[in-house]
């Protein structure tokens, strides 16, 4: 059987693509299959993560088309518009998180189930933050210990929390 696309080489690969819910299977040669998969053909839009995210952003009220740009709908640092963000699913710079902050929060909650970083903090620039994060974790542990009625453990945790709070205040 010959390839459905180039009609020259033998078809060796089945490529299934789902576009807007329609499933379509093609029998292709290896070369055409690869070209389609890297998206150079473009007769099907590539369904990737950003398309999905883009759809999600529309749900949260980010504009769907090239809308009239209103004040505040643009990052003051890099100039990224809400519309471009909604289309590409990519922010333009670190400051975008501040400019679009309140609108982004529900999106982040939907993606991650959470809106607060609990992980690593830069070693050189984030010294104080690291202490704060550890403090948050200890407080959560304390609560858990209390609810399990492990009072010895809770007392221990409380001491460590006080110690940390002192360190933070002293800077």
Q: What is the dihedral of CA 136, 141, 142, 143, to 10 degrees?
A: 90
Q: Count the site residues for other proteins by CB under 8 A.
A: 47
What would you report as the CA-atom Rg of the chain, rounded to the nearest whole angstrom? 26
Whole-number Å distance between alpha carbons of 28 and 9: 8
Among 165, 130, 162, residue whose Cα is nearest residue 154: 162
CB of 22 vs other proteins, minimal distance in Å: 15
According to CB under 8 A, which one of 19, 41, 93, 155 is a site residue for other proteins?
Answer: 93
Q: Taking contact as CB under 8 A, which single stretch among the options 58-66, 101-109, 141-149, 156-164 is the one that binds other proteins?
A: 101-109
CB of 37 vs other proteins, minimal distance in Å: 7
According to CB under 8 A, which one of 5, 74, 86, 89 is a site residue for other proteins?
Answer: 89
Contact yes or no for 53/89 (Cβ under 8 A) = yes
Output the six-digit token pair for 137: 């974790």
According to CB under 8 A, which one of 19, 69, 78, 144 is a site residue for other proteins?
Answer: 78
- Which residues in 10-49 contact other proteins (CB under 8 A)? 12-13, 15-16, 29-31, 34, 37-38, 49
Q: Taking contact as CB under 8 A, which single stretch among the options 62-70, 121-129, 147-155, 157-165 is the one that binds other proteins?
A: 121-129
Phi, psi of 85 (to 5 degrees): -60, -45
Whole-number Å distance between alpha carbons of 124 and 165: 21
Whole-number Å distance between alpha carbons of 165 and 132: 8
Note the residues at the interface with other proteins (CB under 8 A): 9, 12-13, 15-16, 29-31, 34, 37-38, 49-50, 53, 77-78, 80, 88-94, 97, 104, 107-108, 111-126, 129, 132, 137
């Amino acid at each position: 059987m010959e390839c459905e696309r180039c009609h020259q080489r033998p078809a060796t690969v089945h490529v299934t693509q789902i576009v807007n819910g329609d499933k379509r299977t093609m029998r292709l040669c290896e070369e055409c299959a690869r070209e389609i998969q890297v998206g150079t053909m473009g007769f099907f839009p590539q369904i990737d993560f950003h398309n999905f995210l883009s759809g999600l952003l529309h749900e949260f009220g980010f504009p769907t088309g090239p809308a009239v740009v209103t004040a505040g709908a643009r990052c003051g640092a890099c100039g990224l518009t809400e519309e471009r963000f909604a289309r590409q699913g990519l922010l333009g710079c670190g400051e975008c998180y501040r400019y679009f902050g309140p609108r982004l929060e529900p999106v982040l909650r939907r993606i991650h189930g959470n809106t607060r970083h609990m992980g690593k903090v830069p070693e050189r620039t984030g010294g104080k933050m690291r202490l704060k994060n550890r403090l948050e974790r200890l407080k959560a542990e304390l609560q858990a210990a209390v609810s399990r009625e492990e009072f010895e453990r809770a007392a221990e945790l409380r001491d460590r929390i006080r110690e940390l709070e002192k360190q933070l205040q002293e800077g």
